[in-house]
């Protein structure tokens, strides 16, 4: 067995062990592209391909579990888990309740707009 085939098998084992291509490349002193090529060559054999498919599915499951982050609802202040950072409410019900609490009436919106426009034109006139 040559050194390259040993190295290739080690690369496949590291990849199946959970390392990403970039980490394997830095360990072995080769480029990430070369690691990708070696993995592609080794995956062509059916046994390795089946193992890799199972491994990728397990990785997806692990990454989905890890992504869950604990947030605090802005309306009811309960803790909830979410996969995405942009979530601010634990449910649609809380979101709608928060909208009702914070929303302005039509009259309030018009007053706010008028105040802004007054201030805007007032500062513009002062500058000229």
Q: Widest CA span of the chain, in angstroms?
A: 85
Q: What was the pLDDT predicted at 66?
A: 55
The confidence score (pLDDT) of residue 6 equals: 84
pLDDT value, residue 97: 86
Burial class of residue 106, CB neighbours in 10 A (0-12, 13-18, 19+): exposed
User: Which residues on neighbouring strands pair with residue 82, listed in sequence order?
Assistant: 69
Sequence spans of domains, the chain: 3-66, 69-127
pLDDT score for 60: 54
Q: In tens digits, what is the pLDDT along the chain, a chain of 128 residues?
A: 456 778 888 888 888 777 888 888 888 889 999 998 988 887 776 666 666 666 666 555 555 555 567 778 888 888 888 776 667 788 889 888 888 887 777 788 788 888 888 877 776 666 55
């Amino acid at each position: 067995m040559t050194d390259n085939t040993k190295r290739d098998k080690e690369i496949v084992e590291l990849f199946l062990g959970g390392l990403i291509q970039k980490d394997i490349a830095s360990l072995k002193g080769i480029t990430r592209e070369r690691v990708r090529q070696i993995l592609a060559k080794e995956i062509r054999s059916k046994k390795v391909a089946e193992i890799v498919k199972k491994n990728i599915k397990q990785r997806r499951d692990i990454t989905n579990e890890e992504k869950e982050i604990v947030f605090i609802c802005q309306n009811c202040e309960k803790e909830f888990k979410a996969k995405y950072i942009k979530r601010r409410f634990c449910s649609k019900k809380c979101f709608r309740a928060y909208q009702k609490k914070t929303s302005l009436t039509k009259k309030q919106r018009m007053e706010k707009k008028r105040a802004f426009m007054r201030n805007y034109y007032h500062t513009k006139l002062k500058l000229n």
